[in-house]
Amino acid sequence: MPRNASVRQHVTDQSHDAFLPVTDAPATQALAVKLPDLQDIEAAARVVYRAMPATPQYRWALASRRLGTDCWFKHENHSPVGAFKIRGGLTYFDALRERGAMPRAVISATRGNHGQSVAWSARAHGVRCTIVVPHGNSVEKNDAMRALGAELIEHGDDFQASREQAQVLAQQQGALMVPSFGADLVRGVATGWLEFFRAVPAMDVAYVPIGLGSGICGAIAARQALGHKARIVGVVSSHATTYADSLAARRVVAAPVSTALADGMACRLAEQDALDILLHHVDHVVQVDDHAVADAMRAIFSDTHNVAEGAGAAAFAAALQERERNQGQVVGAVLSGGNVDSAMFARVLSGASER
């Protein structure tokens, strides 16, 4: 796919097995969030590696056999918080330090992994941290954030409601609202993809789950910085379709959220800045339902004996869904996180989550 020209993009809907045209995005449009270049990402990597080593990537034989072609997993589940988000938190707080703008207190909203990243980095810098989560959030993610020193507040029925409450509290308390998407976060997340693309130069296609957008924008940034050939395929839950709908409409479109498994992709409202980047650089988007995600979680455990949370298995679910079109290709899938509650994972492995 041409990187700097108008492109025809598509959304794949698993229920119709068809490609629907999304947009011809003008390449000359200025982006509000500038993608980091190679120098930026390598500087971010030096910050990240002070707290954690590079995560591994492996070509798994059983997963490759299942997919019918070479399949590589990037194991972001091996980070100190069990997910890729820590990279963005580390670079976000380091940027505050560099600017002499470190606050006394921060507030953010999350379904879990972003909150762990913020809590980890806030603790490292001696900053008080409050995290707002929706009611019914993952018990074990909540516990992990508290263990990292965060004060937890439950508010609302979904991420968007928690985010809006966090913004109110930040104003009331004079705390810094840490966003879930932004340039300093993307710069950190891109370090993982720099590792992956450098390790697998033959990769033809990379599947990336979309929550609020830092993960896929980080993948795009690393690919652009290296001039890598891989096509970037976005993955959304078919029970949380704001990004698929927004790409089709070329504007932010809210969508209801009903996924019971892929909480890391349970966003009701796409981020405009992320959407602008995706319109220029994403090949197409695949929708996966909770049944497909559960199948992928079981397959990953069987083939690699790694634990993947719902959003963490979504990339492989999408690759499996597009198995036929991927024949002869080298496929990369990010295992973006492994933070699934043990009771839920037991239900998934037994098949009870689908009954």
pLDDT band at 18 (very low <50, low <70, confident <90, very high): very low
Q: What angle do CA 19, 35, 124 make, to 5 degrees?
A: 115
pLDDT above 70: residue 274: yes
What letters, b where the CB count within 10 A reaches 16 and e where it falls short, cover 190-211? bbbbbbbbebbeebbbbbbbbb
Looking at residue 22, what is its pLDDT? 42
pLDDT at 354 over 70: no
Which helix (DSSP H) or strand (DSSP E) does residue 285 occupy?
strand 284-288
Question: What CA–CA distance (Å, rounded) separates 187 from 195?
Answer: 13
| DSSP codes, 103-123 | -SEEEEE-SSHHHHHHHHHHH
* Pair 172, 192 in one domain: no
Averaged pLDDT for residues 128-137: 95
Number of Cβ within 10 Å of residue 167's Cβ equals 16
* Average pLDDT across the chain, whole number: 91
Q: Write down which residue in 121, 153, 177 finishes a domain.
A: 177
Q: Give yes or no for residue 238 having a pLDDT over 50.
A: yes
Higher pLDDT, 159 or 43: 43
Residue identified by tokens 């009611």 is: 135
Per-residue pLDDT, averaged over 309-337, amounts to 98
Q: 154 lies in a domain?
A: yes
The residue ranking higher by pLDDT, 164 or 32, is 164
The range of the structural domain enclosing residue 322 comes to 8-83+183-354
Q: Does the structure show a pLDDT above 90 at 355? A: no
When pLDDT is averaged across residues 292-297 and rounded to a whole number, the result is 98
Buried b (16+ CB within 10 A) or exposed e, 79-113: bebbbbbbbbbbbbbbbbeeeeebbeebbbbbbbb
Q: What is the mean pLDDT of residues 89-118?
A: 96
Same domain, 165 and 311: no
Length of the chain: 355
In this prediction, residue 66 carries a pLDDT of 98
Identify the CATH number of the domain in which residue 254 sits.
3.40.50.1100
CB atoms within 10 A of CB 42: 14
Task: Kindly tell me if the per-residue pLDDT of 82 is higher than 70.
Answer: yes
> pLDDT per residue over 183-197, tens digit each?
999 999 999 999 999
With a cut of 90, say whether residue 27 has pLDDT above it: no
> Does the residue 74 lie in any domain?
yes
Beta-sheet pairing, 8-13 with 128-133? unpaired
Q: Is 5 left (phi over 0), alpha (psi -120 to 50) or beta?
A: beta
User: Is the domain of 223 the same as that of 347?
Assistant: yes
Question: Are residues 146 and 288 part of one domain?
Answer: no
Distance of CA 1 to the CA centre of its chain: 22
Q: How many structural domains does the chain have? A: 2
How sure is the predictor about 8, in pLDDT bands with cuts at 50, 70 and 90? very low
Asked if residue 1 is part of any domain, the answer here is: no
Q: Are 324 and 187 contained in the same domain?
A: yes
pLDDT at 272 over 70: yes
pLDDT tens digits, 167-178: 999 999 999 999
Q: 103 and 136, same structural domain?
A: yes
Q: Is residue 275 part of a domain?
A: yes
Residue 354 is given by DSSP the state: G
Q: Would 2 be classed as within a structural domain?
A: no
Rounded Cα distance between 11 and 174, Å, is: 41
- Confidence (pLDDT) at 33: 81
Residue 69 has pLDDT above 50, yes or no: yes
Question: pTM for this structure?
Answer: 0.91
Say which range, 20-29, 56-65, 345-354, has the weakest mean pLDDT. 20-29
What is the rounded CA–CA span in Å between residue 256 and residue 269? 9
In the numeric block, which tokens belong to residue 353? 């989550």
- Evaluate if residue 326 carries a pLDDT over 90: yes
Residue 349 near residue 298, CB atoms below 8 Å:
yes
Name the domain boundary from 134, 155, 177. Answer: 177
User: Are both 285 and 331 inside the same structural domain?
Assistant: yes
Q: What is the mean predicted confidence (pLDDT) over 247-274?
A: 95
Q: Which band of pLDDT confidence, cut at 50, 70 and 90, is reported for residue 353?
A: low
Closest to 238 (Cα-Cα) out of 321, 165, 172: 321
Domain ends where: 177, 204, 227? 177
> Quick check: helix, strand or coil at residue 207?
strand
What is the DSSP code (8-state) at residue 31? P
